[in-house]
A = this chain, B = another copy of it.
Amino acid sequence: MLPSSTVENYLKALYQAEATLGEKALVPMGQLATAVRVAPGTATTMIKALAESGLVKYEPYLGVRLSPAGTKLAALVLRRHRLVEQFLVEVMGMSWAEVHEDAEQLEHVVSDRLIERMDAMLGHPSVDPHGDPIPTADGDVESHQYDSLLTCRLRTPVKMIRVADQDASFLRFLEEHNLKPGQSIEVELRDPAADSVQLRTGDDHRITIGTKAASKLLIEVV
């Protein structure tokens, strides 16, 4: 029984929620319902069905967690999503700000044959345009823990690795200021009162962004 697009979306949402909530945590129903954009009761119904088929572990009133089988399936959906995004940017010349919506649809229909063809054309990339890691065909992911521009040391050169947000207008903003994976950056100042973070980019531009935005830009010390 291959999973419907709907099921794939639930699994993907759980996978991503677990990634930010931490491994062992249960994902609360409300959060899941919000993520897949359905009413709370709908999520409950769906999750009970998924628990029935062994893709998740469901603890009534507490939350859900992916089973090993569910985790693998979710990783494969994410693999398709991210390879498609990389393909749309690298091969089709689209902007990284506009590929998410298309990938969201395509991830459910691209065949194995097609996805492996894309993978080969792209030279088996390890990350997508946003720096998100691409799971292997077996569902394995290399997961690192990165600091963000909110938590890294001041006045220390770092390199941008990943953007933890898919919002198109945010990505367009980043693109305009050349804030994409690979860019070198230094945090000059953080002002908690102003809720702001001042940056200097490798190409010597200065930008001030909010702390919430800063927390979404993941980096590595060079």
Contact = CB atoms under 8 A, between A and B. Distances in A.
A92 interface: yes
Nearest to A111: B102
A95 B50 CA distance: 38
A221 interface: no
B121 A111 contact: no
Interface of A: 88, 91-94, 98, 101-102, 105-106, 108-111, 113-114, 117-118, 121
A117 B117 CA distance: 19
B109 A105 contact: yes
A90 to B, nearest CB: 12
Given A92-B121, A94-B117, A117-B93, A109 B109 contact: yes
A121 B92 CA distance: 8
Contact of A98 (B91, B102, B110, B113): B113
A93, A109, A110, A121: residue with the most chain B Cβ atoms closer than 10 Å: A109
Given A91-B91, A93-B117, A101 B111 contact: yes
